Amino acid sequence: KNQVEQSPQSLIILEGKNCTLQCNYTVSPFSNLRWYKQDTGRGPVSLTIMTFSENTKSNGRYTATLDADTKQSSLHITASQLSDSASYICVVRGSNDYKLSFGAGTTVTVRA
């Protein structure tokens, strides 16, 4: 069964600090990996998408990395802001169909 595991489950950081979220997956064959931000009570919004040939992708203060060999990805948030408080979900798509495998998410709380 394809799995996507994220860590930590939650974290609290002070405004202005950096943090890194982890994602390990077993989806194979692999097509792409996306990081989504989901605000409470809202639908997920895409931050980055990476294929197997990409090692890093940035979107503003968000930088995602991918190691397709070890099946690991990370999302780094730089200079966190209060608006970064949300759940961050790692989603992996296999190359066999359109179904997405979702991680349980990491809840980030940024405090002033």
**Binding site residues, other proteins, CB under 8 A:** 31-32, 34, 36, 41-46, 49, 51-52, 89, 93, 95, 98-100, 102-105, 107
Q: 3-class SS at 7?
A: strand
DSSP string, 61-100: TEEEEEETTTTEEEEEE-S--GGG-EEEEEEEEESSSS-E
The smaller minimum CB distance to other proteins, of residues 9 and 70, is found at: 9
- Shortest distance, CB of residue 103 to other proteins, whole angstroms? 6
Residue 61 or 99 having the CB closest to other proteins? 99
Query: Which residue number, 19 or 91, has a Cβ lying nearer to other proteins?
Result: 91
